[in-house]
Amino acid sequence: MDMSSDVAKGAASASSVVELSYADAAVLAVQREMDADPRVVVLGEDVGRGGIFGQYKGLQQRFGSERVIDTPISEAAIMGAGVGMALAGLRPVVEMRVVDFALCGMDELVNQAAKNRFMFGGQGRVPLVARMPGGIWDASAAQHSQSLEAWFAHLPGVVVVCPGTPQDNHSLLRAAMQCGDPVVYIEHKALWGARGPVDESLALPLGRAAVLRRGDALTMVSWSRQLQACHAACEALAAEGIAVELIDLRTLWPWDRDTVLGSCAKTGRLLVVHEAVQAAGFGAEIAASAAEATGCRIARLGAPRIPVGYAPVLEAQSRVGAERIAEAARTLCSAASTR
């Protein structure tokens, strides 16, 4: 596999590389930013005991309860307090536990955080990071397994990030905490235990995709946990002589148009794959942009427009697996390019 991404290049050359879990990489990112900037604070339910996924482990013991703040069970109050803190000059990390619960705090995010800079001519800034773990949470059913990143990408005024590896969860979380605007930061609920190399000296900018494999037959674009199935599909396709260029978008807004459209112009084919419901998913934005800019052949894969079931056989209906991805790629490659 051609690991030509920023992550691979940085990890290969740096002496500060350690193997960490996705959760521990995030803990280290928050710790480093809190060490460097006394304005960074954390607030949310259960953050004092480390968070439900261990993504704040040890931080309250290190920084005290005035900077790692346990809150009541009220997402509207948590988000509202975070917006107020940001407007007052702090840089809050607002923990929503899971994206599904963040819906209770949407007004504060949508009508206050996202719009403040615009409505007041830049007099106020909301440098807030809203952590909203998303995606299918195994055996957790419809109210705990939603992929809502397209909602936030549709919202002017916010940045949207979906890290898929421990390295990205470290570097992009630090970049999010340094950003001057509100960032919706969507870690995947099923990735917390995933392990990989992390170079804490590697800085990654928001808005830049990673090319994980090079190929000339097909461009495949995905993000977050769905990349695992995409990797498996690419391996199967490579054994058949189909070289796929696999791109991890990493940031959904702003998204890396240059990398994606450049690849589409080269291969003449685009397959966008995401875990979210296909209807009105962010893949449609990528597909439309590629069609307008390059005229390439396009296919999309996403979940059916159904709630995620609790029973394994029902939950499986909402997953986009490697076999389905590989079959869609074969179909796309067998058709003549329209370029």
Q: Which CATH superfamily is domain 15-199 in?
A: Thiamin diphosphate (ThDP)-binding fold, Pyr/PP domains (3.40.50.970)
Find the angle CA(88)-CA(251)-CA(169) to the nearest 5 degrees: 80
Amino acid letter at 286? Answer: I
Q: How far apart are CA 274 and CA 123, in angstroms?
A: 37
Give the per-residue pLDDT at 336: 57
Instruction: From the candidates 144, 188, 231, 274, give the one annotated as an active-site residue.
Output: 144
Told to judge if 144 belongs to the known catalytic residues of this protein, a careful annotator would answer yes
The residue ranges of DSSP E strands in the chain, in sequence order, are: 17-21, 40-44, 68-70, 91-95, 129-131, 159-161, 183-185, 195-199, 210-213, 218-222, 244-248, 251-253, 269-277, 297-303
Q: Within 10 Å of residue 169's Cβ, how many Cβ atoms?
A: 31
Q: Could you list the mean pLDDT of each consecutive 10-residue stretch along the chain, which spans 339 residues?
A: 40 70 98 98 97 96 98 96 97 96 95 96 95 92 94 97 98 97 97 96 97 97 97 97 98 98 98 97 98 97 94 93 97 72
Give the per-residue pLDDT at 1: 32
Asked whether the domain spanning 210-334 has the same topology as the one spanning 15-199, the reply is: yes
* Tokens, residue 212: 């994980």
What is each CA distance from 62 to 31, 50, 94, 303, in whole angstroms? 9, 12, 18, 42
Give the per-residue pLDDT at 15: 57
CATH number assigned to the domain with residue range 210-334, chosen from the 4 options 3.40.50.1110, 3.40.630.30, 3.90.1150.10, 3.40.50.920: 3.40.50.920
Report CA 68 to chain centroid distance, whole Å.
23
- Domain segments of the chain: what residues? 15-199, 210-334
* Tokens, residue 23: 């959760």
Contacts of 85 (CB under 8 A, 6+ apart): 41, 43, 92, 128
Give the per-residue pLDDT at 5: 43
254: preceding bond cis by omega (within 30 degrees): yes
Amino acid letter at 138? Answer: D
pTM, two decimals, is: 0.92
